[in-house]
Chain A
Amino acid sequence: DAKTTQPPSMDCAEGRAANLPCNHSTISGNEYVYWYRQIHSQGPQYIIHGLKNNETNEMASLIITEDRKSSTLILPHATLRDTAVYYCIVRETIQGAQKLVFGQGTRLTINP
């Protein structure tokens, strides 16, 4: 079973920041938080990951709370092409724990 809880759907206006929440209250000390998105008929696309510090790359920012029980993915200036299902996944980073366990994700719709 997935160890994360996400809202099933969200809407955001084009050009605004999209903030996608994720709860992972049972996360353990060696588990990273990964974010992927999937556009219809394509494979999941890696976005960003982190352990405890906030992370930023060219696609997004990841804000992890100090207790690590929740995180937020921020798309700073959403475009129509950001419409997708977004998956938040926690995963141990040890041998024997390689699989990603996907939940239902959040269906993000960017509106013009």
Chain B
Amino acid sequence: DTGVSQDPRHKITKRGQNVTFRCDPISEHNRLYWYRQTLGQGPEFLTYFQNEAQLEKSRLLSDRFSAERPKGSFSTLEIQRTEQGDSAMYLCASSRGPDFNQPQHFGDGTRLSIL
């Protein structure tokens, strides 16, 4: 398997700008997850897709955040009107169905820095 791919690896932007991240899961993995990790903390769950359906969203995912997975393959995470507190590593993971015990495999993340 090629691993989960995330783009870009780093993003620096000014407060108030919109940013979009892309995640390409491992091929044939029908489940896709987004997490956020701040310095010194473990990753925190944001949202989960099964194929193109977004089935779960964390309360961390404010209305400035939107995630899509239009054809059940790659996914995008957009943050509108970025704030200082959005600075973090955004991680994507994917897993194979149908068994729910299959492990999630992570990409190396997009590090977002808000100036």
User: A108: shortest Cβ distance to chain B, in Å?
Assistant: 15
What residues of B have a CB within 8 angstroms of the CB of A87 in the complex? 42
Q: How large is the interface on A (under 10, 10 to 19, 20 to 34, 35 or more residues)?
A: 20 to 34
User: B53: shortest Cβ distance to chain A, in Å?
Assistant: 11
Q: Closest residue to B9 on the A side, CB-wise?
A: A41
B65 within 8 A of A: no
Contact with B along A99-112 (1 / 0, CB 8 A): 11111110000000
A53 within 8 A of B: no
What residues of A have a CB within 8 angstroms of the CB of B103 in the complex? 34, 46, 49
| B 30-62 contacts with A by CB, 8 A | 31, 33, 35, 41-45, 48, 55-56, 58
CB–CB A98/B42 < 8 A: no
Give me the interface of A with B, judged by CB distance under 8 Å. 2, 32, 34, 36, 41-46, 49, 51, 87, 92-105
